[in-house]
Structure 1
Amino acid sequence: MENDPPPLCEARPVDPTKDMFNWVGSIRGPDDSPFQGGTFRLAIRFPTDFPFKPPRVHFTTRVYHPNISPQGDICLDILQDKWLPVLTIRTVLLSLCSLLTDPNPEHGLDNDILQVYRTNKKMYEENAKEWTKKYAMENQETLP
């Protein structure tokens, strides 16, 4: 991560002297997306058998997105059944950036947002921009 950080993303151990399995990360909202200008925080927990099992990643910043639950859980195949030991946290962060700008309309974690995304993309983008302003800029509100 230090030698080749992904664009718009960062991740690091919370306390490298005590626990190398517990990390925090962030993704800056991609330009020309409804998330532009926001910073979305992540909690990242590596299992003891990493890289053979995927890290547990969830957003701690609220995100208006059909593939992210109200609790910050993420519907992303590489964090589930498509994980491969060759994948890295860099790959995960880049995939999350891509997911922000390109939601998967087939698998949602928030059915209300998924319905808006499927039927009214303009309203989806307006709502996502509003949530980004409210939760991901300056005075960030994190999930409970």
Structure 2
Amino acid sequence: MIKLFSLKQQKKDGESVPSSSTSGQKKSSPAQLRVMKDLNELNLPKTCSTEFPDPDDLLNFKLIICPDEGFYKGGRFAFNFKVGANYPHEPPKVKCETQVYHPNIDLEGNVCLNILREDWKPVLTINSIVYGLQYLFLEPNPEDPLNKEAADVLQSNKRLFESNVLKAMRGGYVGNVYFERCLK
């Protein structure tokens, strides 16, 4: 596990914490401090995990969601989080790296989730986004689609939609689009 709060722990333990002027370390930005707080308080469901490609860069990480129920049960979906300097006043940029047949995720990985756009508020956290993304896999929303074709199929024929989701997750074509296998 990444030691997010080693300095905080040193302070608590009464050890002296090196100042940034003597250690040569950069001072953490407000966005970094808030992300550290959010990650420390992160309460991931058993179907989710995080990966930090660069342990020194907490502003860029992956969230892996492996739904255990619903249309997407058994799939493994990776989301790339890029937290900007204006966080928490602006939401992180979140993209789905796994190509998925989903009404609210387009084929380029853009995600239609209200709290990542118009309903974002600084009181929301990384945890809020995790649960929002997880909910998209439990309850896809055809009323606000990025993938209109998938939304239309979900509204008109749930069995065909479920068949298309399984076909895509197994690795295959849905229409003229090929999906890489994403089953665990």
Superposed pair shares fold, TM > 0.5: yes
Post-superposition Cα deviations, 1:45-64, rounded to whole Å, max 9, x if no partner, equal 00111111101111101111
CA contact (8 A) 2:141 2:151 kept: no
Consecutive unaligned residues of structure 1, counting only runs of 5 or more, are 139-144
* TM-score, length of structure 2 as denominator length: 0.69
- 1-structure distance, mates of 2:148, 2:160: 15
Which has more strand, going by share of residues? 1
- What secondary structure, in the 3-state scheme, does the structure 2 residue paired with 1:20 have? coil
Compute the displacement of 1:30 (Å). 2.9
Q: Does 1:136 align with 2:182?
A: yes
Identity score, percent: 32
Q: Which fold has the larger relative contact order, with Cα–Cα distance below 8 Å and residues 6 or more apart in sequence?
A: 1
1:83/1:71 CA distance change after superposition, 3 Å: same
Query: Which aligned pairs between 1:8-47 and structure 2 lie closer than 5 A?
Result: 8-17=47-56, 19-31=57-69, 33-47=70-84
Question: 2:133 & 2:44 partners in 1: Cα distance?
Answer: 14
Question: Contact between 1:47 and 1:53, CA under 8 Å: does it hold in 2?
Answer: yes
Q: Kindly provide the amino acid, as one letter, of the partner of residue 46 in structure 2.
A: P
Residue type of the partner of 1:73? Answer: N
Instruction: Find runs of 4+ consecutive structure 1 residues off by over 6 angstroms.
Output: none
Unpaired stretches in structure 2, ≥5 consecutive residues = 1-38, 172-180
Query: Per-residue deviation at 1:88?
Result: 1.4
1:66-105 counterparts in 2 under 5 A? 66-105=103-142
Mapped pair 1:6 → 2:45: yes
- Are the counterparts in 1 of residues 60 and 83 from structure 2 also a CA contact under 8 Å? yes
Q: Size of the alignment, in residue pairs?
A: 136
Q: CA deviation at 1:2?
A: 5.6
Larger radius of gyration: 2
Report the aligned-residue RMSD. Answer: 1.6
Letter in 2 for 1:126: S
Q: Which structure: greater helix fraction? A: 2
What is the distance in 1 between the residues matched to 2:131 and 2:97? 17
Query: Normalising by the residue count of structure 1, what TM-score does the alignment of the two structures yield?
Result: 0.86
